[in-house]
Copies of this chain bind each other. A is one copy, B any other.
Amino acid sequence: MFKVSRKSEYALIAVQQLARSLPDRVVSVADLSQQTQVPADVLAKVLQGLKRAGVVRAVKGAGGGYGLSRSPAEIRFLDVVQPFEDKLAMVSCQMPSHECERLDTCSLRDPMAALNAFVLRQFEGLTMDVFLVPHQWIAVGTRGAGHPHETSLARRLRASDAASG
């Protein structure tokens, strides 16, 4: 449960790294691979996936590379992860074309559907800018103004977790 695919991790790392470079510059896969220690071949396909998802833009040819297509604050966590997670559901029957022979008798389906929807909504407002300031994660009481789009998840992450422990 909860575990994200390796490609998702690479995607998150790539977005982090791209966010640290100048917004109008692009970085080649080779450079990005060196900076992040992610195998170039895998990183290449991950970037392709992110491009298809509209998260990054690509510039072909000599001197080309990848760059973020918009500001980190406007890139949602789920945008980055979605392309590499065919299963954003807790149970099989929640995703299309995955059937289950126990559909009618199963008294677990409805509760899990609601649970799934709730968890997903928690992530809706989580944007990638939260991933860029490492110190916020360990400091307590750093609570900032917050972005208009963010939900309680992003807010509570900013406030760190040592508070209510």
Measured CA separation A92–B122 after assembly (Å): 22
Interface pick from A40-48, A56-64, A68-76, A110-118: A110-118
Counted per complex, copies of this chain come to 2
Chain B nearest CB, measured from A3 CB (Å): 5
Nearest CB in chain B to that of A138: its residue: B110
Any B CB within 8 A of the CB of A26 = no
Encode contact with B along A81-110: 1 for CB under 8 Å, 0 otherwise.
100010111111000000001100111101
Q: Does A160 contact B (CB under 8 A)?
A: yes
Contact between B2 and A118, CB atoms less than 8 A apart: no
Q: Which of B1, B5, B120, B161 contacts A121 (CB 8 A)?
A: B161
The reply to whether B118 and A131 form a contact with Cβ atoms under 8 Å apart is: no
Q: Are the C-beta atoms of A107 and B91 separated by less than 8 Å?
A: no
Residue pair B134, A102 in contact (C-beta under 8 Å): no
**Could you write out 6 A-B pairs with CB less than 8 Å apart?**
A3-B92, A4-B91, A114-B157, A114-B161, A118-B153, A118-B161
